[in-house]
Chain A
């Protein structure tokens, strides 16, 4: 054995080990159960995709669910049989939630898939094989971490861009009662070591340390012997470490063996270390050298309610009751307890724990299946593991702080968790809590500390998710608001552009008409009607005064009609866009639009006619000269004379038009007066 300077981690406890009960007999093979319940989510990451359907017959080792996404793992049929259902069943999980499970009725033949049986999937020269091939094989065989968390091994081994200098193999198995790794190392040391060789090759680490607690001397001896058999591996070392809970924690084991600490919120690969469980190594060996997927595992069945505590190799998906039946379960001795979340407070069932007494959880029923990560089924008696329903007040003894292996302040975290002060709990690094249960174990007030921390961790995660979601909602809301504003601005701009264009077109038409008219009239100009003002075209001595008036009236009517039609169209459009169906056809719209067009044409025509009739009105702000005024004055005088003549004539003949003519005469006289005044003012200004 190599001598390695060992380090120690802070805190830790020494609970009664209770390991000897289950190491008395060799690993047994559980008889084939009649039905297997195989959840598709047994690992960290995305649940696998089911690839079989109800009624399919499957062979042992056949893939029944393929990995979905990068972090996921395949699931294989643990034995041959028929898929009878794919449905939601309760999962062996502390939440008691349901998940998709493949229910497989076994046929008793236990017939392997042909490729696996004839060894065509085996990689014989695995130590010379390509890394990618090996990783793909590990992925195809659905290997996940067997220590408890169930992280897909292929993902862990495919760590890129980081140099790994130490591979640590975890054989510490520090939790009381559990002996599955111990028995595995005792009986299958060679396979385990070969698995270690494969992992060593994959990581290209310079050294490999296998840490085993000193309460497993047989396992250490077996591993040493196996190491001698392999000979050529000088950089693999079996290291005996002192027994202390939780030395099997990844971060704690790394600290013991290397003295290095994994940074907070980091992973071991950050400091050049990869850690794997011994069980995983054995599974990797079988996957690579034999092509066998992970379909069974060694599980410890122990506790005072079990007649023959032992280690059993069980198929994944085996209901716990089969295992209990095999090992002899004495229900009368087992612990009856109030079930978490059960409707009736008085309802109680035997207490079966999956995992160890420190970190395990109580199963709600014995129908639940064994998973890839289930290393122990514990059926304690009432006396052995009393349920502590009642917690006392914290007496601030500080024992939990001394016990904490993660160097946290459990008492502070407890206060923060109890008061819901998530930010303070976070500042006190609750995220680094490994939930080992050492604090709860030493607590004289029996406070369920770890449950508080688990709750707080979950609440922090929830809060962070809510914050992220609210940030996203804010961005989406602002984006929508900006879009609506932009749309409104675009609409307004379009409307204005249309209005401007219409105005321009109208002006251009007017100008063109005026130009054409002025050309026509230039020859005969100067003569009549020079004084027609812009605002009062009627009632003057126009050649066709009645006609012009009529035209003007028609124009007004036509314009009003046009406006009405346009309003109607706009209204229709507005109501349509309010409905949001912008491009949908609107009833009667085309009729109204046609009306608008015809009315517009009519208005144009009338305007043209009026312009023709009116002749060119002098520009309003024309530079006036004295001659102009004099000319006007003269013309006015002439006109007045003519009108006087007409009036006289009318008087003589007694015509009906006399009052009108008289009125016109008055007006003309007024006009003359105005012109005279204008002239006088002009003279005055000129002087």
Chain B
């Protein structure tokens, strides 16, 4: 009988001690804000394009943390959806076509500078301040900072902004993935069977 009492007392004591430790830790190491929002925000492409219907990536991250679906980000596309699904432990869904389609190539905005009238409307539209210029002066896009979000195209009263694919240079070129060739789908050349170099 006494052994049961000892066990109960011991467990109760342990429970009190651990409870105290946990309680202390909860106060001492309290995390301000919602850390999951930052984690989600890190996975989003930060184009700040608003295609998800939220005014930027952070608001969408907050919405996702609050239960919004994860398939509303066309610039991030499938890879972002998979990464988000991974992080949140939910099933990946196909991209919601309502918010736009994923682009194959990264784009950048270019202002046809001769035609620019200096109205500053695109400057106000750019979510990341990547357009330089002043009232009645020519504007230009800082191509390195442009996320290709399209938001500047619509406000331009003279339609002098084009979205063009980012140019491939020797610096950013890399090899293509080899085509997935299956040997059995075609008859190999006879020469292939010989070991020329060996």
Is B198 positioned at the interface, with any CB of A under 8 Å from its CB? yes
Which residues does chain B contribute within 8 Å of A391, judged by CB atoms?
178, 181-183
**Chain A residues at the B interface, C-beta cutoff of 8 Å:** 15-16, 41, 91, 93-95, 97, 99, 176, 357, 382-393, 417, 441, 445-446, 448, 451-452, 454-455, 457-459, 461-462, 465-466, 469-474, 476-481, 580-581, 583-584
Distance between B171 CB and nearest chain A CB, rounded to angstroms: 9
Closest B-chain residue to A465, C-beta based? B172
- Known contacts being A383-B196, A471-B46, is A97 close to B147, with CB within 8 Å? no
Tell me which residues from 37 to 53 in chain B have a Cβ below 8 Å from any Cβ of chain A.
Answer: 41, 44-48
Tell me which residues from 143 to 198 in chain B have a Cβ below 8 Å from any Cβ of chain A.
Answer: 144-145, 147, 168-170, 172-178, 181-184, 186, 188-189, 191-192, 194, 196-198
Closest A-chain residue to B121, C-beta based? A580
Distance between B192 CB and nearest chain A CB, rounded to angstroms: 5
> Are the CB atoms of A462 and B189 closer together than 8 Å?
no
- Known contacts being A382-B191, A580-B135, A581-B120, is A454 close to B174, with CB within 8 Å? yes
> Are the CB atoms of A386 and B191 closer together than 8 Å?
yes
Closest 9 CB pairs of A and B: A458-B174, A470-B46, A454-B175, A476-B128, A473-B46, A392-B183, A95-B173, A390-B183, A386-B191
> Are the CB atoms of B41 and A451 closer together than 8 Å?
no
- Known contacts being A391-B178, A469-B147, A470-B46, is A480 close to B121, with CB within 8 Å? no
> Are the CB atoms of A476 and B197 closer together than 8 Å?
no
Is B129 positioned at the interface, with any CB of A under 8 Å from its CB? yes
Which residues does chain B contribute within 8 Å of A41, judged by CB atoms?
170
Is B70 positioned at the interface, with any CB of A under 8 Å from its CB? no
Q: How far is the CA of A385 from the CA of B197 in the complex (A)?
A: 6
- Known contacts being A388-B192, A390-B192, A477-B128, is A580 close to B174, with CB within 8 Å? no
- Known contacts being A385-B196, A390-B186, A474-B57, is A580 close to B46, with CB within 8 Å? no
> Are the CB atoms of A448 and B178 closer together than 8 Å?
yes
Contacts A451-B175, A476-B128, A477-B57 given; 14 further ones with Cβ under 8 A?
A: A15-B197, A95-B168, A97-B170, A97-B173, A382-B191, A390-B183, A451-B177, A451-B178, A462-B174, A470-B147, A473-B46, A476-B130, A479-B129, A584-B135
> Are the CB atoms of A477 and B121 closer together than 8 Å?
no
8 example contacts (A-B, Cβ-Cβ < 8 A) are as follows A95-B173, A389-B189, A445-B183, A446-B183, A452-B177, A474-B41, A474-B57, A480-B128
Which residues does chain A contribute within 8 Å of B175, judged by CB atoms?
94, 451, 454-455, 458
Tell me which residues from 54 to 91 in chain B have a Cβ below 8 Å from any Cβ of chain A.
Answer: 56-58
Distance between A619 CB and nearest chain B CB, rounded to angstroms: 52
Q: What count of chain B residues pass the 8 Å CB interface test?
A: 44
Say which residue of B177, B186, B196, B197 sits within 8 Å of A455 (CB atoms): B177
- Known contacts being A473-B46, A476-B145, is A455 close to B181, with CB within 8 Å? no
Closest B-chain residue to A93, C-beta based? B170
Q: How far is the CA of A454 from the CA of B46 in the complex (A)?
A: 28
Closest B-chain residue to A583, C-beta based? B135
Q: How far is the CA of A155 from the CA of B186 in the complex (A)?
A: 50
Tell me which residues from 102 to 159 in chain B have a Cβ below 8 Å from any Cβ of chain A.
Answer: 120-121, 123-124, 127-130, 135, 144-145, 147
Closest A-chain residue to B79, C-beta based? A420
Q: How far is the CA of A41 from the CA of B171 in the complex (A)?
A: 11
> Are the CB atoms of A455 and B147 closer together than 8 Å?
no
> Are the CB atoms of A386 and B196 closer together than 8 Å?
yes
- Known contacts being A461-B174, A476-B128, is A383 close to B191, with CB within 8 Å? yes
Q: How far is the CA of A161 from the CA of B47 in the complex (A)?
A: 41
Which residues does chain A contribute within 8 Å of B173, judged by CB atoms?
95, 97, 458
Which residues does chain B contribute within 8 Å of A99, judged by CB atoms?
170
> Are the CB atoms of B197 and A383 closer together than 8 Å?
no
Closest A-chain residue to B187, C-beta based? A390
> Are the CB atoms of A357 and B197 closer together than 8 Å?
yes
> Are the CB atoms of A452 and B170 closer together than 8 Å?
no
> Are the CB atoms of A389 and B198 closer together than 8 Å?
no
Say which residue of B56, B123, B145, B170 sits within 8 Å of A95 (CB atoms): B170
- Known contacts being A99-B170, A472-B145, A476-B145, is A455 close to B128, with CB within 8 Å? no
Say which residue of A176, A461, A477 sits within 8 Å of B46 (CB atoms): A477
> Are the CB atoms of B197 and A580 closer together than 8 Å?
no
> Are the CB atoms of A476 and B129 closer together than 8 Å?
yes
Distance between A579 CB and nearest chain B CB, rounded to angstroms: 8
Q: How far is the CA of A441 from the CA of B135 in the complex (A)?
A: 63
Distance between A373 CB and nearest chain B CB, rounded to angstroms: 14
Q: How far is the CA of A454 from the CA of B176 in the complex (A)?
A: 8
Which residues does chain A contribute within 8 Å of B192, judged by CB atoms?
386-390, 446
Q: How far is the CA of A392 from the CA of B181 in the complex (A)?
A: 8
Distance between B73 CB and nearest chain A CB, rounded to angstroms: 12
Which residues does chain B contribute within 8 Å of A417, judged by CB atoms?
177
> Are the CB atoms of A457 and B147 closer together than 8 Å?
no
Say which residue of B48, B144, B184, B196 sits within 8 Å of A477 (CB atoms): B48
Q: How far is the CA of A457 from the CA of B129 in the complex (A)?
A: 32
Which residues does chain B contribute within 8 Å of A584, judged by CB atoms?
135
> Are the CB atoms of B120 and A580 closer together than 8 Å?
yes
> Are the CB atoms of B135 and A16 closer together than 8 Å?
no
